[in-house]
Amino acid sequence: MQYPNPDNHIAVLIDAENVSPSNIEGVLQELSKYGTTSVRRIYGDWSSPQLAEWRGKIQQHSLKPQQQFSFTKGKNSSDIALVNLLRSVIVASEDEDGWAQLSSIGATLRNRSPEFDSRNWGYVKLKDLTKAVDLFEMGRVQTVSGHTNIRVRIKK
């Protein structure tokens, strides 16, 4: 039998608008095999009746609810929160032409939201997530040393 490593800290970030609460017990039980779930956050518009089933699970599983208001009907508030986070980080990292180095975006994301991980949104790399959000333009630039840097800016 393999025992969990208590030094492995796992962040559980749930998009309540797109995930059923019926599987939370199994998910947490499976994750406990690999380490300690030290961050347990659940995102959604908690004023919405559609999340009523989740409300009973929050305290039971020590989930920290994060309010994401649904300002736009038919849009996913958690996805909008992701786009807003990416936009604010790009603006904070951009140069005078509006371009930001992807590495700077990643560093700023880690500082602002340590629990952020592009894999939680279905993308292995931040580059892939940023490319999938059709609001950003991506480019490459060669450095003097021959390395290629990826740049991102908000589409105009």
Model confidence over 134-155: pLDDT tens digits? 889 999 999 889 889 999 999 8
Alpha helices, H only, 4-76 = 24-31, 52-60
Give 71's pLDDT tier (boundaries 50, 70, 90): low
Residues 16-48 pLDDT 10s: 888 899 989 999 999 988 888 887 888 888 888
| Domain edges within the chain | 1-69, 75-156
138 strand-pairing partners = 152
Q: Is residue 64 a contact partner of residue 37, using CB atoms and an 8 Å limit?
A: no
Q: Which CATH number is correct for 75-156, 3.30.420.610, 2.160.20.10, 3.40.50.150, 2.40.10.120?
A: 3.30.420.610
Statement: residue 7 has pLDDT above 60? yes
Q: What is the pLDDT of residues 49-66, one digit of tens each?
A: 889 999 889 999 999 898
Please enumerate in sequence order all residues whose Cβ is within 8 A of that of 95, keeping only pairs 6 or more positions apart, or say none. Answer: none
Q: What is the mean pLDDT of residues 98-124?
A: 86
C-alpha span between 122 and 66 (Å, rounded): 20
Contact 154, 98 (CB under 8 A): yes
Strand pairing partners for 154? 136
